[in-house]
């Protein structure tokens, strides 16, 4: 057992040669800071994809949905297809190796590999999560920021990779710093043509007229695994759900808003651009109880 776990995949994709033909599918490695090569395109160009998976009491949550999205992101970048079985085994092994803790996370990373080798690099990293209690129970302040793309960017300009979970999160982190400069906890991206997109690392869910509504997933945003499970919760509770185009104005009519994501789960939004937003803390608690109790 250990506080952090690193499993390095020997053959992240069956479409490319293994790093060592004689080695196992993955090996645990230490120390953490001696692993990645300086010429890895994941480091030098952000050319790769990742997933962050919540682990509760040792159980990775929404694992199959994360693995499926990992494959879709890789395909969008023309990366070799991740070997799902090898990744699943490495994730499960990393979870088993981690010190017992209520909430942890596993990060899977697949890069194009060291320049010139034609062999992707893959690793799984696991560690305890930070405490999200304040965000879940007191809410977060968000500001809206223009992402600079229209809502149809994924169709018009697929090379911009919107909707893929790439390693190029410099923009998302810059948006987070801009949110902090404006006194908020997070940012909510808008398209140039006025539609609500997603948070820097989360999807928006809105409660309005007794329904739960989230932005359509074909508008250059990630199809969230947490959002999908929030909708599963809603459907089990008899709450109607919908994927729609949502405008900034629609947010003002909402009964409650959340940013939902792995690790932080459902964080109720208490203000948008400084305007107070009503929260439904009872429903939030129910949603988070459901999310944390997921068996898979």
Which C-beta is closer to ligand PLP: that of 151 or that of 201? 201
Please, are residues 255 and 280 in contact by the beta-carbon 8 Å criterion?
yes
At 270, list the tokens: 């208490």
Among 166, 226, 277, 284, binds ligand PLP (CB under 6 A): 226
Contacts with ligand PLP, 159-198, as mask; x by CB under 6 A: ---------------------------------------x
Does 269 bind ligand PLP (CB under 6 A)? Our answer is no
**Residue spans of alpha helices (H) in the chain:** 41-44, 63-76, 84-97, 133-138, 153-156, 170-181, 225-236, 248-252, 281-292
Instruction: Give the nearest distance from C-beta 226 to ligand PLP in angstroms.
Output: 3
Q: Return the range that interacts with ligand PLP (CB under 6 A); candidates 127-135, 149-157, 200-208, 280-288.
A: 200-208
Please, are residues 58 and 95 in contact by the beta-carbon 8 Å criterion?
yes
Instruction: Report helix, strand and coil shares of the chain as percent, to nearest 5.
Output: 30, 30, 40
Among 207, 225, 271, 288, binds ligand PLP (CB under 6 A): 225
At 109, list the tokens: 């990373």
Which C-beta is closer to ligand PLP: that of 108 or that of 203? 203
Please, are residues 288 and 266 in contact by the beta-carbon 8 Å criterion?
yes
Contacts with ligand PLP, 37-76, as mask; x by CB under 6 A: ---------------x------------------------
Give the number of other Cβ atoms within 10 Å of residue 78's Cβ.
7
Sites of contact with ligand PLP (CB under 6 A):
52, 198, 201-203, 222, 224-227, 261-262
């Amino acid at each position: 057992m250990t506080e952090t776990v690193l499993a390095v995949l020997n053959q992240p994709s069956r479409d490319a040669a293994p790093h060592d033909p004689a080695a196992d599918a993955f090996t645990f490695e230490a120390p953490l800071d001696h692993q990645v090569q300086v010429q890895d395109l994941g480091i030098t160009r952000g050319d790769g994809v990742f997933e962050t998976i919540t682990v509760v009491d040792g159980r990775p949550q929404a694992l199959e949905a994360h693995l499926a999205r990992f494959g879709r992101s890789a395909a969008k970048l023309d990366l070799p297809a991740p070997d799902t079985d090898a990744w699943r085994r490495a994730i499960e092994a990393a979870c088993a190796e981690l010190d017992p803790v209520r909430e942890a996370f596993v990060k899977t990373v697949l890069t194009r590999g060291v320049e010139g080798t034609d062999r992707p690099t893959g690793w799984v990293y696991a560690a305890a999560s930070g405490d999200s209690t304040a965000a879940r129970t007191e809410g977060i302040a968000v500001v809206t920021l223009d992402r600079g793309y229209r809502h149809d960017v994924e169709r018009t300009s697929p090379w911009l990779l919107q909707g893929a979970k790439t390693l190029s999160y410099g923009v998302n982190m810059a948006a987070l710093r801009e949110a902090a400069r404006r006194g908020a906890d997070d940012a909510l991206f808008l398209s140039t043509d006025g539609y609500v997109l997603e948070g820097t690392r989360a999807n928006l869910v809105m409660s309005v007229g007794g329904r739960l509504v989230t932005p359509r997933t074909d508008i250059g945003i990630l199809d969230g695994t947490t959002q999908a499970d929030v909708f599963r919760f809603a459907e089990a509770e008899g709450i109607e759900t919908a994927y729609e185009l949502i405008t900034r104005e629609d947010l003002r009519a909402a009964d409650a808003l959340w940013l939902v994501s792995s690790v932080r789960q459902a964080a109720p939004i208490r203000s948008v651009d400084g305007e107070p937003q009503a929260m439904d803390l009872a429903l939030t608690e129910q949603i988070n109880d459901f999310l944390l109790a997921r068996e898979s």
